Amino acid sequence: MSLLQLVWAKFMKKLRLSAVRNSHVHSTAKIEAGTSFYYSTMAKHSFVGYDCEVLCADIGSFTSVANGVVIGGGRHPMEWAGMSPVFYKGRDSVKAKFSEYERPPNRRVKIGHDVWIGRSAVLLPGVVVGDGAVVGAGAIVTRAVPPYAIVAGNPARVLRHRFDEATVTRLLAIQWWNLEEDLLRRLAVDIRDTEKFIQGAEAAIEVRQ
C-alpha cells in the first residue's frame, strides 16, 4: 500500500466521526471516529479509540482505551418470565410491543486514572477498574480490577501487578493525575524512573503542606 493510500484510508476512517450523546467529555480528552459514547463521562487527557461502544461509564484522567472496546451496556431482565425487548419500554430492534415496563437502570462502569484497556476488551456493566490497571486485549472483565493490576482472559483474572505493594501504595497516595500540569511537566522528566518520579512528587506535595 502506498503512502497516499495510507493517508486516504486514515482520512476515510476519521470521516465517519463519533456519536456522543448525553455525556461530558473534557476538552483535552478525545473520542475517535466510529465510537458511540452515551450517558458517560471522560476526564482530562484520556482517549477512546476507534469503533468502541461506551454506555453508562465514568472514565478517569490519563486513561487509554484501544480500538474496538465495549464498556458497559444494557441488560436483558433475566429475572422476568420473558427477556425479549417486546416486553419493556424503549426503542429496540424489534417492532412489536406487548408491554412497556421499565427495565432496571443500567449499572455504571467506573474506570480509574492512568488505566490502559487493550483492543477489543469487554467490560460488563457495573465493573470497577482501579487506578493504574491494565486490561489485556480481548479480555472479558466481569468483576472489579484492583489498582495497578494486570488482567487478561475470559473471564479476566489478575496475572500480576505493575509494581510491588509499597510502590502501589505510594502511587495511590501522590495521585499524580491530580497534580497541576506545570508541576507534572517538571516531574515528567523522570517518568521512566518510577522511584525518582514518586520521590519528586512526594517532595513537591510535602513543600505545599
Residues designated as active site:
76
Measure the N-to-C terminal CA separation of the chain; round to a whole number of Å. Answer: 57
CA 45 to chain centre: 12
**Torsion angles phi and psi, residue 137, rounded to 5:** -55, 135
C-alpha cell at 148: 495497578
